[in-house]
Amino acid sequence: MLVDQKNLTTIWFDDEFSLVKIIDQRFLPHELKIVTLFNLEDAEYAIREMQVRGAPLIGVTAAFGMYLASLNNSSNDSMIQSGIFLKNARPTAVNLSWSVNKILKDIESIDVSSRKNFILDLAKKIRSDDIEACRKIGENGASFIEDIYKKKQSPVNILTHCNAGWLATVDWGTALSPIFNANKKNIPIHVWVDETRPRNQGFNLTAWELINENINCSLIVDNVGGHLMQKGMVDLCITGTDRTTSTGDVCNKIGTYLKALAAHDNNIPFYVAAPISSIDFDISDGLKEIPIEERDASEVTSITGLNSNKKLETVSIIPENAKAVNYAFDVTPAKFITKIITEKGNVNPDKESITNLLKV
């Protein structure tokens, strides 16, 4: 998508110098920093410290992490250990284990001497498949926005939580892809952007993406959504997901559940955009089976932004010695979800419809 009128993706392989490059998202929207991942440890750090984040992008970064690991040692034992190391970086997004497991399985029949190039090609394919899946999610999800516009003939108000835009994937995004698609079709839209404390991915990343694409948006703090819904100011909600069960329970950024509850109470459709790589077909109970990441309390107790000298600064916002907890994700039960938007079509959040996706 566009940054300063130039197309950019979140991760790429620089063929000329054989380097893996990423945008370090920790400094956005204030600074666009591009860094190189030189080895497995860099890839693990990038995922754990959220230089890259968003379920699909975590998965693609892990694939390149496996390639970087193979430069050092591509024996079975070493690749399995590297896979475990990467998978432990962040526990909730299933895309991470999905891409590591895919690589481990696909290299089984490949001679150790040919693995480096094989894994690099595989990582590049996982990357390009992600772009295509997200582009299709955009096409499939835009129909819901278009239908509302046809009925209402005035800008469609969409609420989104966290960042599930191109920065959370390689390009296009998941929840924002239908929005980008609808905007390119000149459907008038307005997006309510949830702040998404504690790390503020909504303000820092989603707003930045929308502004770069010239999409009308308003920034709101996390508790405003329910009020807007009661006042008829939200036509639909779209979020992404870090892991969706075979029965349609959706795990996503903390606070998603409360938005879905409010949407349900106000008869507002709640859509979840999910590439197949974010669906965990092996589990059926989101509340019991999805590991919820707990992050450092400092993300809650402090906040980072530009100071009056336009320098990034982190300040404490709590009484000294106050205790905080930091759950990063929650689970929205399937009954609160209207449809799941995938690259293979829009499906109901139930076991039959979701498992059928494996056959398409």
Active site residues: 242
Residue 288 Cβ, how far from ligand MRU at the closest point, in Å?
20
Please name the residues in contact with 177: beta carbons below 8 A apart, sequence gap of 6 or more.
Answer: 134, 135, 137, 138, 141, 165, 273
Shortest Å, Cβ 276 to ligand MRU: 13
Q: Check: CB of residue 12 under 8 Å from CB of residue 37.
A: no
Q: Residue 137 or residue 148: which is nearer to ligand MRU going by CB?
A: 137
Q: State the minimum distance, in angstroms, from the CB of residue 259 to ligand MRU.
A: 12
Instruction: Give residue 164's identity as a one-letter amino acid code.
Output: A
Residue 241 engages ligand MRU in binding (rule: CB under 6 A): yes
Among 10, 212, 244, 252, interactor with ligand MRU by CB under 6 A:
252
Bridging pattern class, strands 270-273 and 243-245: unpaired
> Which tokens go with 202?
């909504």
SS3 for 175? Answer: coil
334 binds ligand MRU (CB under 6 A): no
Q: Would you say 242 and 94 are in contact if contact means Cβ atoms under 8 Å apart?
A: yes
Taking contact as CB under 6 A, which single stretch among the options 68-76, 234-242, 331-339, 343-351 is the one that binds ligand MRU? 234-242
Span of 80-88, 108-116, 184-192, 239-247 interacting with ligand MRU by CB under 6 A:
239-247
Min dist. Cβ of residue 155 to ligand MRU (A): 24
Taking only Cα atoms into account, the Rg of the chain, rounded to an integer number of angstroms, comes to: 20
Q: Give whichever of 86 and 107 is closer to ligand MRU, judged by the CB atom.
A: 86
- 202 sits near ligand MRU (criterion: CB under 6 A): no
Q: Where are the beta strands (DSSP E) in the chain?
A: 2-3, 6-7, 11-14, 19-24, 33-37, 156-160, 189-194, 217-220, 236-239, 243-245, 250-253, 270-273, 279-280, 302-306, 312-316, 329-332, 339-342, 345-347
Q: 99, 140, 174, 200: which one contacts ligand MRU (CB under 6 A)?
A: 174
Residue 328 interacts with ligand MRU (CB under 6 A): yes or no: yes
Tell whether residue 56 is a contact of ligand MRU (CB under 6 A): yes
- Given 46, 47, 53, 210, the residue binding ligand MRU (CB under 6 A): 53
Which of 137, 168, 179, 237 touches ligand MRU by CB under 6 A? 168
Structure tokens at 258: 């409360």
By CB under 6 A, tell whether 242 contacts ligand MRU. Answer: yes
Least CB distance to ligand MRU at residue 56 (A): 5
The answer to whether residue 207 forms part of the interface with ligand MRU (CB under 6 A) is: no
Q: What is the largest CA-CA distance in the chain?
A: 63
Question: Closest separation between CB of residue 233 and ligand MRU, Å?
Answer: 22
Kindly list the distances between the CA atom of residue 156 and the CA atoms of 126, 160, 345, in Å, as whole numbers in the listed order.
33, 13, 22
* Cβ(62)–Cβ(48) below 8 Å: no
Residues at the site binding ligand MRU, with contacts judged by CB under 6 A? 53-56, 93, 162, 164, 168-169, 173-174, 201, 239-242, 252-253, 328
